Amino acid sequence: MVLSAPGVGTHTTTPQRRPTPNSVRLLASLEAMAEVGLQPDGSICRRGFTAEDRQGRERLSEWMIDAGLSLCIDAAGNLIGRLEGSDPSLPALVTGSHLDTVPTGGRYDGTLGVLAGLEVVRALQDAALQLRHPFELIVFADEESTMVGCKGMAGTASADPSDYTTSNGEPIQRNLARLGGDWDRLASAARRDDAIAAFIELHVEQGAVLEGRGDSIGVVQGVVGQRRFTIRVGGQANHAGTTPMDQRQDALVAAAQVVLAVQALALAHPGDPVATVGKFEVWPNAANVVPGEVQCSVDLRDLDPEVLSALTDELQRRLAAIAESSGCRVTMEPQFSVDPTPAAPALMDAIEVAATELGLSHSALPSRASHDAQELGRRWPMGMVFVPSHRGLSHSSAEYTSLEQCVAGTAVLLEAFLRLDAQLQG
């Protein structure tokens, strides 16, 4: 669905200065977008497909048109703004992120990447500079729940509507229509292999690594893969007072050993994987009953698929040992598996050089949270720029990245694209 196609924004005049982000304008955009879905506690609620989500997209659409972008919405509900380049044969340089949030979201998660991309366009227009490549800014649909937007564009989206668990509980078909998408034409959202030259997403780190290191910029090595399992521990429920300690099959005691084994698994492995037991259910969960059954989740994450396989194999061995020593039944059932997506070396280099030339301290790190870039990177060269999150807090009203840090990330994004525009040949 085409929204507009203004005939502005393609200047060939030699710029008088290197384009730079306007900090006042970026701050104004961040504050204006934070008004949409603002809650009494200071958090932001723009769940995917809601009226607030649509309001945010409409507000951004006005800004994009004013910046000279032509707009369309694809079948996956992605809002796409495009600035033509001087060479129509070249594929696009692309940036973007999402505007939807979790129920108590912050004002930077996703939003900064979108508004930084808009500021890149505005800075290019200020400098009257037309890139060789077309430039696109994308707002991906429903990143926080279904990721239907980025998966649709990458061609990895499921064609089965029952595979989508939406935050409002309504069918994905109806939700996509609210954004201007079209479920019946979802396959048409998949871009051609030669449509995109490079995709770079700017995002707040959502962790405390950069702040701890004292670095301004994170050069993301890739988005980690995930292996998630359900662990079931079966013992024998019995009277807590009359069952001697040496005659118990206590499922909770065995499950506690599972939790410690998962922690030890990650700590002992070379590198820096993470392993988490995040969900824990006990039956019958009564003060005077020896627990008879426990169910818990295990989440394993790393950038290397071989590490994930090794962690899984070692976990199975440890569970077998716990079952033997406790006398309980211990089973592990896969929930889902997501492969890692490495960043493209050329894009990492462009980001690192950009940060260096701008005098910004930087270091490499993986992204342990999923992002739209994870799906785009399965098809096209992908890079990510991280900026620090104060105290590592995210998905809450306490989420904070300073204006100086936001501007620094935007400047790196802009400089990296300028370098790629000059270097890439299609």
Give SS3 for 94.
Answer: strand
- All domains in the chain, ordered by first residue: 2-223+341-423 (3.40.630.10), 226-338 (3.30.70.360)
What are the helix and strand counts (H, E) for the chain? 11, 17
**How far apart are alpha carbons 34 and 45 in whole angstroms?**
10
pLDDT in tens, 169-207: 999 999 999 999 999 999 999 999 999 999 999 999 999
Taking phi first (over 0 means left), then psi (-120 to 50 degrees means alpha), and beta for anything else, what does residue 204 get? beta
pLDDT at residue 201, as a whole number: 98
**How far apart are alpha carbons 247 and 70 in whole angstroms?**
73
Give SS3 for 218.
Answer: strand
Do 101 and 95 contact (CB within 8 A), yes or no? no
Is the link from the previous residue into 345 a cis peptide, with omega within 30 of 0?
Answer: no
| Number of C-beta neighbours around residue 352 at 10 A | 18
Do 179 and 98 contact (CB within 8 A), yes or no? no
**Nearest to residue 399, comparing CAs of 132, 211, 265?**
211
Token pair 């507000």 is at which residue? Answer: 59
Q: State the DSSP string of 329-366.
A: EEEEEEEEEE--EEPPHHHHHHHHHHHHHTT--EEEEE
pLDDT in tens, 262-272: 999 999 998 89
Give SS3 for 425.
Answer: coil
Chain center to CA of 145? 11
**Nearest to residue 134, comparing CAs of 84, 193, 59, 68?**
84
Token pair 């001697």 is at which residue? Answer: 244
Per-residue tokens: 184: 């019946």
**Buried b or exposed e, range 164-185, using 16+ CB within 10 angstroms:** bebbeeeebeebbebbbbbbee
Per-residue tokens: 376: 């785009």
What torsion do the CA atoms of 99, 193, 364, 301 make, to the nearest 10 degrees? 70
Alpha helix segments (H runs only) across 242-360: 251-268, 305-326, 345-357
Average pLDDT per consecutive 10 residues, the chain (426 residues; last block may be shorter): 43 62 98 98 98 98 98 98 96 98 98 98 97 98 98 98 96 98 98 98 98 98 98 98 97 98 96 96 98 98 97 98 97 96 98 98 97 98 98 97 98 98 88
Rg over CA atoms, the chain: 24
pLDDT at residue 1, as a whole number: 55
pLDDT at residue 425, as a whole number: 82
pLDDT at residue 16, as a whole number: 52
**How far apart are alpha carbons 307 and 265 in whole angstroms?**
11
Do 289 and 238 contact (CB within 8 A), yes or no? yes
**How far apart are alpha carbons 310 and 307 in whole angstroms?**
5
Claim: this prediction has a pTM higher than 0.95: no
Token pair 């698994």 is at which residue? Answer: 265
**How far apart are alpha carbons 183 and 192 in whole angstroms?**
19
**How far apart are alpha carbons 185 and 330 in whole angstroms?**
45
